[in-house]
Amino acid sequence: MKKITVIGTGYVGLVSGACFAEIGNRVICCDVDQRKIDLLNRNEIPIYEPGLQEMVTRNKEQGRLLFTTEVGEAIEASDIVYIAVGTPMSETGEADMRYVMSAARKIGEHLNGHKIIVNKSTVPVGTGELVREVVQANKKYPWIGFDIVSNPEFLREGSALSDCMNMDRAIIGSDNPEAASVIEELHAPFKTKVFKTDLESAEMIKYAANTFLATKISFINAIANICEKVGADVEDVAAGMGLDSRIGGKFLQAGIGYGGSCFPKDTYALAHIADKAGYEFELLKSVIRTNQKQRFVIMDKLREALGGLAGKQVAVLGLAFKPNTDDMREAPSLSIIPELLKLGATVRAYDPIAAEAASKLLPGDVQYAASAEQAVAGSDACVILTEWADVVSMDLAQIRESMKVPVVIDGRNCFDTAEMERRGFIYYSIGRRPVNRLQEGRKSVNL
C-alpha cells in the first residue's frame, strides 16, 4: 500500500485518486476549493463521469480515500504527491501554469521527508525541472531530498474509469531510475505496459499523442468535406482507410470537430511550445484552423435546407462536447447556438446531463427541453451536435410526425441515410450525400 496525496480534485485528480484507492492504496485528495471538498465529503461528485460516484463512495467507506482542504497536512502524510491541477489555456494559447507552480511551492513548504513528486497535469516540456526548482527554493529543511516524475494521464471523458483501471500504457519520465521504479510498481495492479523515459520526453509524449489524434480528426473532417463535393461516402472511405494496419480505424469518425478539455488546449499549447522553440508547426496550425471551421458546416447545411433562419424554430440535440459527460469546454454548441440566435432562429435545446452547465454559458433566451422528443416537436429543423444514446435511439417515426418541417442536420452521422430517406426526412450529415434535399422535396414538404 502506498501513501498518496493528489493535489487537485478536478477531472484528472479525482478519477486518478479514486482509481489509486480502488487498487488498495491510501489516498488523500486535496483542493483549496472548500465547496468541492464539502460535496465530495457528502459523496456528491462535482463532475459527471459514469461509475465515479460509486467508486468514490466505496473507497471512502473502506477508509482508503479521504478529501480535505488541508493541503499541507496531506503532503506531509504521504510519500508520493501527485500534482493534478488545471493547466487552462491562456490568452496566448500557452498553458497557464499558475496552479502547478502554486502546488509546487506548497509541496516545498511542507516537505518533511523524501517524497516522489509526480506531474499528472498536462504541462509544457521543461515543467518537471521548473517544479524541481520551485520545490527546492521553498524547502524549509535543505537536507531533505525529493524526486520529480512525469506520469501524464490519458483519460477519455465518459470512459475515464475504464481507461484508468484498464490503461493501455503508463508513461513514466524521471532522471532517477529508483523513483521511476516506485511509480512503475504503483501501476502494477493495472496490468499495463510501462514505458520509462526522461522527464522531457514524457512531457512531450502527452502533447504529441493528443495532437496526433486531433490531426486524425481534422484530416477525416477535411476528407468528409471533399467527399460531399465529389459524391463519395466518408464512412466508406474511413472504413477502407482503417483496414490499413498502419492507419487504423480509431479517430476517423467524421463530424463537427473535436472539443473538450484536452485536444483544443493541447493543440494550442504545442503550437506555442513549437513557436517558442523556433519551429513553425504549420501542420498543427492547419489542424486547429480546420477544426475551428468544421463546426460551422452545420450552419451552411441549415441555410441550404431552410434558406433564411429568421423566425425558424431549431431543435438542438446535445450540448456537451461528447456523450457521457457534462463538460462544456470548447463544445461546438457554444459556437453554433449563439449564431443561430444571431440569425433570428428560436432555439430549443436538449442534453440529458449538460443542460444545467450549458445554461450558464449560453444566451438566456435558449429554451431547454426535458427530452429529445420535446425539443423537436413543432420545429423547422433538428440539429444533432452530440451523439447521446437517447438521441441515437429516438423513435424516428414519432420525430418525423412531430416536426413542422422534417429537416435533420446530423453533425455526428447518427443515422443511416437510406433509412432517413425512406422515412421522408430532409437529412444532411457529414461527408455523405444529402437525402431528400429541399429542392428535391419541395413539392411534398409544406414550408
Q: Residue 267: CA atoms inside 13 Å, Cβ hemisphere, count?
A: 26
The answer to whether 254 is annotated as binding is yes
Tens digits of residue pLDDT in 249-290: 999 999 999 999 889 999 999 999 999 999 999 999 999 999
Q: How far apart are CA 389 and CA 374, in angstroms?
A: 16
The answer to whether 155 is annotated as binding is yes
Tens digits of residue pLDDT in 301-351: 999 999 889 999 999 999 999 999 999 999 999 999 999 999 999 999 999
Using pLDDT thresholds of 50, 70 and 90, give the confidence band for residue 46.
very high
19 is catalytic: no
| Non-local CB neighbours of 185 within 8 Å, separated by 6+ positions | none
Please choose, from the candidates 131, 167, 163, the residue with its C-alpha nearest in 3D space to the C-alpha of residue 146.
131
Residues 389-404 have a mean pLDDT of 96
pLDDT reported for residue 261: 85
Tell me the average pLDDT of the chain: 95
pTM of the model: 0.92
The answer to whether 154 is annotated as binding is yes
pLDDT reported for residue 90: 85
The answer to whether 156 is annotated as binding is yes
The answer to whether 87 is annotated as binding is yes
Tens digits of residue pLDDT in 74-89: 999 999 999 999 998 8
The three-state DSSP-derived secondary structure of 95-133 is: ECCHHHHHHHHHHHHCCCCCEEEEECCCCCCCHHHHHHH
pLDDT reported for residue 443: 39
The answer to whether 120 is annotated as binding is no
Tens digits of residue pLDDT in 87-144: 988 888 888 999 999 999 999 999 999 999 999 988 999 999 999 999 999 999 999 9
The answer to whether 343 is annotated as binding is no
The answer to whether 440 is annotated as binding is no
**Active-site residue identified among 19, 164, 227, 262:** 262
The radius of gyration computed from the CA coordinates of the chain, to the nearest angstrom, equals: 24
pLDDT reported for residue 439: 53
The answer to whether 192 is annotated as binding is no
The answer to whether 36 is annotated as binding is yes
- Tell whether the model's pLDDT for residue 446 goes beyond 60: no
Using pLDDT thresholds of 50, 70 and 90, give the confidence band for residue 438.
low
Using pLDDT thresholds of 50, 70 and 90, give the confidence band for residue 442.
very low
Amino acid identity of residue 156, one-letter, is: R
Domains of the chain as residue ranges with CATH: 3-197 (3.40.50.720), 216-288 (3.40.50.720), 297-441 (3.40.50.720)
Using pLDDT thresholds of 50, 70 and 90, give the confidence band for residue 184.
very high
What order of strands is seen across the sheet that includes strand 169-174? 65-68, 26-30, 3-7, 80-83, 115-119, 146-150, 169-174, 193-197
